[in-house]
């Protein structure tokens, strides 16, 4: 879904559409919501709590898939996305034990395969305290940074909401550029993480 269409939906439905969209395109929705918060459409502190809770809920869901259903078809399909076979699990368990923070950070920033890394944490039974501790840190770093960038982006348009809507093409251009950069970086991270898990 294009950034301009997402922005139109959020402007029209606000909180009603924000929740379902955030579960599909979390990072870009966080940035757009942060931009609109600077114009009074959302409360920035409420957004910070919402996106943090959203990320924790998603982490718990995918962790449970790996922990309780590591042998199910869904779990195998998610792990196959990152090239993980049963014989890799012991090496990956050690990776999560020794470098949990780095693995959580780069795994969750890997566009398109982040859920697979979280399932993997559940599959190797990563301790819950460590899992949610690192997950919370990564959620704050990722989503609060995107909200802050969006908020800063919105404040650069003097004249408030009327002005930004009149110049929506500039806003969409900036959002699209930052989204593209985000996805390029996370795509590269994803490729590196895939390679590392296959080598374990």
In tens, the pLDDT along 130-158 reads 899 999 998 998 899 889 988 887 777 64
Q: What is the mean pLDDT of residues 112-126?
A: 79
45 — pLDDT class (breaks 50, 70, 90): very high
Share of the chain above pLDDT 90, in %: 12
Task: Please report the pLDDT score of residue 167 as a whole number.
Answer: 54
pTM beyond 0.75, yes or no: no
Domain interval for residue 60: 3-199
50 — pLDDT class (breaks 50, 70, 90): very high
SS3 83: coil
> Which residues in 135-144 are b (16+ Cβ under 10 Å) and which e?
beebbeebbb
Largest CA-CA distance found in the chain, in angstroms, rounded: 59
Share of the chain above pLDDT 70, in %: 62
36 or 188, higher pLDDT = 36
Q: What is the C-alpha separation between 35 and 165, in angstroms, rounded?
A: 12
Q: What is the domain count for the chain?
A: 1
6 or 151, higher pLDDT = 151
Residue 60 tokens, joined: 């718990």
Residue 194 tokens, joined: 């895939």
Long-range pairs for 56-59: beta carbons < 8 A, 24 or more residues apart: 56/132, 56/135, 56/136, 56/139, 58/23, 58/26, 58/115, 58/118, 59/118, 59/131, 59/132, 59/135, 59/139
Task: Please report the pLDDT score of residue 157 as a whole number.
Answer: 60
């Amino acid at each position: 879904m294009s950034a301009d269409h997402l922005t139109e939906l959020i402007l029209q439905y606000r909180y009603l559409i924000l929740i379902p969209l955030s579960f599909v395109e979390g990072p870009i929705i966080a940035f757009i919501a942060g931009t609109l918060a600077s114009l009074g459409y959302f409360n920035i502190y409420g957004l910070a709590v919402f996106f943090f809770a959203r990320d924790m809920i998603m982490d718990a869901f995918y962790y449970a898939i790996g922990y309780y259903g590591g042998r199910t078809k869904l779990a195998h399909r998610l792990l196959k996305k990152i090239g993980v076979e049963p014989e890799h699990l012991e090496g990956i368990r050690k990776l999560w034990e020794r470098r949990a923070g780095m693995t959580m950070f780069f795994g969750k920033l890997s566009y398109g395969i982040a859920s697979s890394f979280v399932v993997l944490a559940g599959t190797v039974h990563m301790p819950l305290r460590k899992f949610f501790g690192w997950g919370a840190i990564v959620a704050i770093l990722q989503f609060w940074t995107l909200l802050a960038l969006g908020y800063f982006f919105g404040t650069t348009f003097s004249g408030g909401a009327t002005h930004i809507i009149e110049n929506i093409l500039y806003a969409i251009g900036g959002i699209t550029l930052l989204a593209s950069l985000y996805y390029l970086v996370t795509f590269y991270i994803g490729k590196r993480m895939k390679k590392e898990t296959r080598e374990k």
